[in-house]
Amino acid sequence: MKQTILFGAIASLMAMGMVSAEVDCLKLALTVKQSVSNEQSKVLEIVSKEVSASPKCACEIVKAAIEGSQAEPKTVAAIVEAAANAAPDQMRLVAQCAVAVAPDALAEVQAVMAKLDPNRGESVESSKSGKEPAGEVAAMPNPLDFPGQGPIGPMPGGPGGEPMFPTLPPVIINPPDVSETD
């Protein structure tokens, strides 16, 4: 009985901690929205300061900044750039949240993302060096170069390769000439 009460108390404290973490982002978003609407000239400073302080709430902060400033597409792009510079790990999420709030700024946000992350997930060495990638992929032959030869492709005499028994051309039988000639 005592253990049940103890475990219940611990679980409720943990649940309150999880709820308070969610409420913090919401409270922070409301604070950002109010401060941005009061001082629209400092929107980029506010966004970069708040996102660097709590990067896990970057989406809510960007949404609140866009809504609070009633931003035009160029301002939305600047907000995304400021947030992405403050929290590079949240860059994609920030861009998606900005487009969700201001869909008319899609082209500007994509331009900012192309400027900030031109490789889109590629490694820096492979995209800038121009060399072939090293490893097993580069060492394997291309199966389209010589079909049926080498380790890849059908082997002669097996299924999908040359047939075990050669096929003969079809036999064409001409019908008899049944013309009546008397």
Residue 104: predicted pLDDT:
92
DSSP state of 170: P
Asked if 141 and 150 touch (Cβ cutoff 8 Å), the reply is yes
Residue 127: predicted pLDDT:
45
More confident residue, 76 or 149: 76
Residue 158: predicted pLDDT:
57
Q: Amino acid identity of 27?
A: K
Asked if 59 and 74 touch (Cβ cutoff 8 Å), the reply is no
pLDDT of 27 strictly over 70: yes
Q: Amino acid identity of 95?
A: A
Mean pLDDT throughout 83-92? 90
In this predicted model, what pLDDT tens digit does every residue of 132-143 receive, in sequence order?
Answer: 555 445 556 665
Mean pLDDT throughout 146-172? 63
Percent of the residues in the chain that have a pLDDT greater than 70, as a whole number: 60
Residue 95: predicted pLDDT:
92
What is the value of pTM for the model shown?
0.55
Q: Which residues contact 139 (CB under 8 A, 6 or more apart)?
A: none
Alpha helices by DSSP H, listed for 56-168, are 58-69, 73-86, 91-101, 106-116, 124-129, 136-139
In this predicted model, what pLDDT tens digit does every residue of 54-73 receive, in sequence order?
Answer: 889 999 999 999 999 888 88
Please give, one letter per residue, the 3-state secondary structure of 6-25.
HHHHHHHHHHHHHHHHHHHH
Residue 117: predicted pLDDT:
79
